[in-house]
C-alpha cells in the first residue's frame, strides 16, 4: 500500500525533493515504495494502515550530506523524521508520527571518532550501535565499560537522546552525554558546550561551556539533528559482583521500594538497579505454554509453579557491586541486612544459580555493559510478536510503588494480558516500565491494546504520574498531560520550534511538538 503524501506537499514537490536527495547521497540510498518496509513500525498498534507510514527514506553518510538534505527539505516543504538506527522498538521503531514524512536514516553515519581511555569517553556518530562500540573497546583492549539498554543493536546516540536507561552506575544515558554536534533545521551546524570554542580540548569533558546550556533541547525534540555526540564511559572497576534478591509476595514491592530509596540516595546501591516482575523474568527463558494453556493471564497457582521451577520470586531485584573486594563486602552487608527480615527473601550470586540459562546470568552481563539481545525473548511469551512500553515515573516510595503496580497490573490483567513490569531505580525517581506483549497480527487485539493504553495514560495522569517516553501513536496524548499553567511548557516548546524551524520540516509531531504550519488546535 502506497504511503500518502504529507499534508501540504504536492506530488511534484516530493518528486523534486527525492531527485535532489538522490544527487546528494546517491540513488542507492533513497528508498521508496516497497523498499520503505524497514522504516515502518514493526509493532503497529493502529488498524489504519495509512497511519505513521513514511513516504520515503534517505540515508546520508556525513554531516555535510545531512545539511544539504535539510536545506532541500526546506526548499520543497518536505518533512523529515531523523532516526539514528531506527531500533526504538515498542516506541515506534523508525516510523514517523505524521504519515508521508521522509525518514532521515543516519545508520550509515557509524564512525567511532574517538575513544579516550584516560578520561573515559567516546565521540560517536548516530549510527554507532552498542555492539559496535563494545567490540571496538574490546579489540583495542581498553579498560572501559559502556552502559547498555536491553537491546544492544540500538544507537548509543539515539538511546541517550530518548532518555534511555541502562544498568551500570552510568545508567542515566543522557546524563552521561557531553558535547554535541547538531544540524539545525536551516542547515547550519552548531557544536554545544566547549565545542563552540575553536581549538578547545574539553568538548567531551565539560558539559556546560559558557552561556546557556542547550543540549537538553535536542533530546526528545525536533529542534535539530544530532550528528555527533560525546558519551562518558565507566573505567573498568577493581571488582564486580552481580546479585539477585527474590521476594515471594506481590505486596512486598511496597516494603522493598521503601528500603531501596535510602540505599540508592546514599550510593550504597551503585548501579541502575531494577526490581522486575515474575512473568517478565520468566519470559526470558520460558514461554507461557510451558506452564499454562488457558485464556487470559496466568493464575496464582501457575505463578507459584514458575517461581519454584526458576528460582524466582514475584519480584526480583537485580543489582551489582563494583570496586575493590573490601568495598564490595561492606556494601553487600548493608544491602543484605536491609532486606533480610522480609519473609521468604532469598539472596543469590551467579554461582548459586542452578539453571544454565538464567535471569541473573543474563543480567550479570548487562550490568557490566555487555550488549545482548536476550531480553527480546519475552516476545515469545504468548505468541504474536508485538510489544509496547508504558512508562510512568514516580518518587522512590513504597506507597507510590504499590499504588502504581495495583493500578497498572489490574488494568493489564482486566484486558487479558499478563503483567510484565519492572521498576528501575534512578537517583531519586522510579521508572515503572510495563511491557505489554500482544498479537500484532490480530486487529481486535490491537484495538483492545489501544483502549487499554489510553486508560492507563488517563489514570496515571490523574494520580500525578507522567510518562517519560512513549510510542509515536501517543505522543500528542502524553504531551497534553503536561499541562500546568495552561500548557506553558509546550507553548515554550512551540516558540522554540517556530524560531529554529519556521517551515516545520523537522519531525512534525515529535513529543507532541508541531510547527505552526501543522499545529493542531
C-alpha–C-alpha distance, residues 210 and 201, integer Å:
14
Q: Which three cell numbers stand for residue 7?
A: 499534508
Are 70 and 504 in contact by the 8 Å Cβ rule? The answer is: no
- Return the C-alpha torsion angle 409, 410, 416, 417, nearest 10: 0
pLDDT (mean) for 475-496: 97
Are 349 and 243 in contact by the 8 Å Cβ rule? The answer is: yes
153 is in an annotated binding site: yes
Q: How buried is residue 374: exposed, middle or buried, by Cβ count under 10 Å (0-12/13-18/19+)?
A: middle
Confidence of residue 177 (pLDDT cuts 50, 70, 90): very high
**Torsions phi, psi of 260, nearest 5?**
-70, -40
29 is in an annotated binding site: no
Q: Is the dihedral of CA 505, 218, 181, 62 positive or negative?
A: negative
Confidence of residue 520 (pLDDT cuts 50, 70, 90): confident
C-alpha–C-alpha distance, residues 449 and 447, integer Å:
5
pLDDT digits (tens, 9 = 90+) for 88-130: 988 999 999 999 999 999 999 999 999 999 999 999 999 999 9
Coil, helix or strand for 416? coil
End-to-end CA distance of the chain: 30
**Torsions phi, psi of 145, nearest 5?**
-115, 140
pTM: 0.96
| Catalytic residue list | 91, 468-469
Q: Which three cell numbers stand for residue 132?
A: 559496535
pLDDT (mean) for 498-512: 98
Coil, helix or strand for 415? coil
pLDDT (mean) for 467-488: 97
85 is in an annotated binding site: yes
- Whether the predicted pLDDT of 384 surpasses 80: no
Q: Where in the chain are the domains? A: 11-107, 112-235, 240-467
pLDDT (mean) for 288-303: 95
pLDDT value of position 56: 97
159 is in an annotated binding site: yes
Task: Give which of 215, 111, 120, 212 is closest to 156, Cα–Cα.
Answer: 111
381 is in an annotated binding site: no
Coil, helix or strand for 322? strand
pLDDT (mean) for 272-280: 95
Average pLDDT across the chain, whole number: 96
State the alpha helices, DSSP H only, in 225-348. 252-265, 278-282, 300-310, 325-339
pLDDT value of position 464: 96
Q: How many CA atoms lie within 13 A of 239 on its CB side?
A: 11
C-alpha–C-alpha distance, residues 23 and 144, integer Å:
41
271 is in an annotated binding site: no
pLDDT (mean) for 301-329: 97
State the alpha helices, DSSP H only, in 119-203. 130-140, 156-161
- Whether the predicted pLDDT of 186 surpasses 90: yes
C-alpha–C-alpha distance, residues 414 and 399, integer Å:
22
C-alpha–C-alpha distance, residues 188 and 402, integer Å:
49
**What is the 8-class DSSP label of residue 343?**
T
- 11-107: CATH topology is 3.30.43
Q: DSSP strand E in 349-505: where?
A: 385-390, 392-395, 421-425, 429-439, 466-467
Neighbours of 488 (CB within 10 A): 11
pLDDT value of position 1: 63
pLDDT digits (tens, 9 = 90+) for 20-63: 999 999 999 999 998 999 999 999 999 988 899 999 999 999 99
396 is in an annotated binding site: no
Confidence of residue 383 (pLDDT cuts 50, 70, 90): confident
pLDDT digits (tens, 9 = 90+) for 211-249: 999 999 999 999 999 999 999 999 999 999 999 999 999
**What is the 8-class DSSP label of residue 402?**
H
Shared fold status for 11-107 and 112-235: no
pLDDT (mean) for 391-402: 96
Which CATH code for domain 240-467?
3.40.462.10
459: part of which helix (H) or strand (E)? Answer: helix 443-462
Residue at grid coordinates 526504538:
88
pLDDT value of position 49: 84
pLDDT value of position 217: 98
Are 86 and 58 in contact by the 8 Å Cβ rule? The answer is: no
- Whether the predicted pLDDT of 510 surpasses 90: yes
Largest CA distance in the chain: 71
Q: Return the percentage of the chain with pLDDT > 70, whole number.
A: 99
In CATH terms, is domain 112-235 a member of 3.30.1330.10? Answer: no
C-alpha–C-alpha distance, residues 474 and 391, integer Å:
12
C-alpha–C-alpha distance, residues 231 and 128, integer Å:
12
Q: How far is CA 54 from the centre of its chain?
A: 21
Are 267 and 392 in contact by the 8 Å Cβ rule? The answer is: no
C-alpha–C-alpha distance, residues 53 and 115, integer Å:
37
Q: Return the percentage of the chain with pLDDT > 90, whole number.
A: 93
- For the residues of 60-106, what is the DSSP string, one character each? -SSHHHHHHHHHHHHHHT--EEEESSS--TTTTTT--SSTTPEEEE-
C-alpha–C-alpha distance, residues 498 and 142, integer Å:
44
84 is in an annotated binding site: yes
Rg of the chain, C-alpha, whole Å? 23
The crossing angle, in degrees rounded to 10, of helices 63-76 and 11-25 is 160
249 is in an annotated binding site: no
pLDDT value of position 176: 98
437 DSSP β-pair partners = 387
Q: DSSP strand E in 120-188: where?
A: 121-124, 144-145, 177-183
State the alpha helices, DSSP H only, in 242-324. 252-265, 278-282, 300-310
Residues whose CB is less than 8 angstroms from the CB of residue 200 and which lie 6 or more positions away in sequence, other chains included: 194
469 is in an annotated binding site: yes
C-alpha–C-alpha distance, residues 104 and 279, integer Å:
37
510 is in an annotated binding site: yes
- Whether the predicted pLDDT of 521 surpasses 60: no
pLDDT value of position 356: 87
pLDDT digits (tens, 9 = 90+) for 141-168: 999 999 999 889 999 999 999 999 999 9
Amino acid at each position: 500500500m502506497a504511503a500518502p503524501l504529507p499534508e501540504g506537499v504536492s506530488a511534484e514537490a516530493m518528486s523534486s525533493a527525492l531527485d535532489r536527495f538522490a544527487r546528494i547521497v546517491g540513488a542507492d540510498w533513497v528508498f521508496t515504495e516497497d523498499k520503505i518496509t524497514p522504516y515502518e513500525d514493526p509493532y503497529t498498534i493502529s488498524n489504519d494502515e495509512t497511519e505513521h507510514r513514511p513516504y520515503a527514506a534517505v540515508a546520508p553518510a556525513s554531516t555535510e550530506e545531512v545539511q544539504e538534505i535539510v536545506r532541500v527539505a526546506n526548499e520543497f516543504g518536505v518533512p523529515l523524521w531523523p532516526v539514528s538506527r531506527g531500533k526504538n522498538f515498542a516506541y515506534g521503531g523508525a516510523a514517523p508520527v505524521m504519515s508521508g514524512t521522509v525518514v532521515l536514516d543516519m545508520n550509515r553515519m557509524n564512525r567511532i571518532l574517538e575513544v579516550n581511555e584516560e578520561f573515559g569517553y567516546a565521540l560517536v556518530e548516530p549510527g554507532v550501535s552498542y555492539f559496535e562500540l563494545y567490540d571496538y573497546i574490546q579489540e583495542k583492549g581498553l579498560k572501559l565499560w559502556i552502559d547498555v539498554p536491553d537491546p544492544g543493536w540500538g544507537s548509543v546516540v539515539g538511546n541517550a537522546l530518548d532518555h534511555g536507561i541502562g544498568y551500570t552506575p552510568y545508567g542515566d544515558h543522557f546524563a552521561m552525554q557531553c558535547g554535541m554536534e547538531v544540524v539545525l533545521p536551516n542547515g547550519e551546524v552548531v557544536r554545544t558546550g566547549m565545542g563552540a570554542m575553536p581549538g578547545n580540548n574539553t568538548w567531551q569533558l565539560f558539559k556546560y561551556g559558557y552561556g546557556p546550556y542547550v543540549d537538553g533541547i535536542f533530546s526528545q525534540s525536533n529542534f535539530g539533528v544530532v550528528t555527533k555526540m560525546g558519551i562518558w564511559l565507566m573505567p573498568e572497576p577493581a571488582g564486580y559482583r552481580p546479585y539477585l534478591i527474590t521476594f515471594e509476595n506481590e505486596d512486598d514491592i511496597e516494603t522493598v521500594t521503601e528500603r531501596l530509596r535510602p540505599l540508592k540516595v546514599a550510593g550504597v546501591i551503585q548501579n541502575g538497579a531494577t526490581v522486575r516482575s515474575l512473568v517478565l523474568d520468566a519470559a526470558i527463558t520460558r514461554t507461557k505454554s510451558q506452564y499454562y494453556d488457558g485464556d487470559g493471564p496466568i493464575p496464582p497457582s501457575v505463578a507459584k509453579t514458575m517461581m519454584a521451577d526458576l528460582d524466582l520470586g514475584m519480584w526480583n531485584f537485580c543489582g551489582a557491586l563494583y570496586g575493590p573486594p573490601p568495598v564490595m563486602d561492606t556494601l553487600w552487608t548493608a544491602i543484605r541486612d536491609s532486606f533480610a527480615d522480609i519473609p521468604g527473601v532469598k539472596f543469590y550470586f551467579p554461582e548459586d544459580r542452578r539453571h544454565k540459562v538464567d535471569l541473573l546470568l543474563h543480567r550479570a552481563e548487562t550490568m557490566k555493559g555487555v550488549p545482548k539481545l536476550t531480553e527480546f525473548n519475552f516476545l515469545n511469551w504468548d505468541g504474536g510478536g508485538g510489544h509496547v512500553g508504558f512508562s510512568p515515573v514516580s518518587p522512590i516510595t513504597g506507597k507510590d510503588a504499590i499504588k502504581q503496580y495495583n493500578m497498572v497490573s489490574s488494568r493489564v490483567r482486566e484486558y487479558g494480558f499478563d503483567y510484565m513490569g519492572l521498576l528501575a531505580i534512578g537517583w531519586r525517581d522510579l521508572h515503572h516500565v510495563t511491557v505489554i506483549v500482544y498479537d500484532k497480527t490480530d486487529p481486535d487485539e490491537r484495538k483492545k491494546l489501544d483502549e487499554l493504553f489510553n486508560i492507563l495514560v488517563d489514570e496515571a495522569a490523574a494520580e500525578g504520574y507522567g510518562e517519560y517516553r512513549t510510542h509515536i501513536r501517543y505522543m500528542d496524548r502524553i504531551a497534553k498531560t503536561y499541562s500546568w499553567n495552561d500548557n506553558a511548557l509546550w507553548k515554550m516548546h512551540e516558540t522554540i520550534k517556530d524560531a529554529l524551524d519556521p517551515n516545520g520540516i523537522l519531525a512534525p509531531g515529535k513529543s507532541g511538538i508541531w510547527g505552526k504550519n501543522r499545529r493542531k488546535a
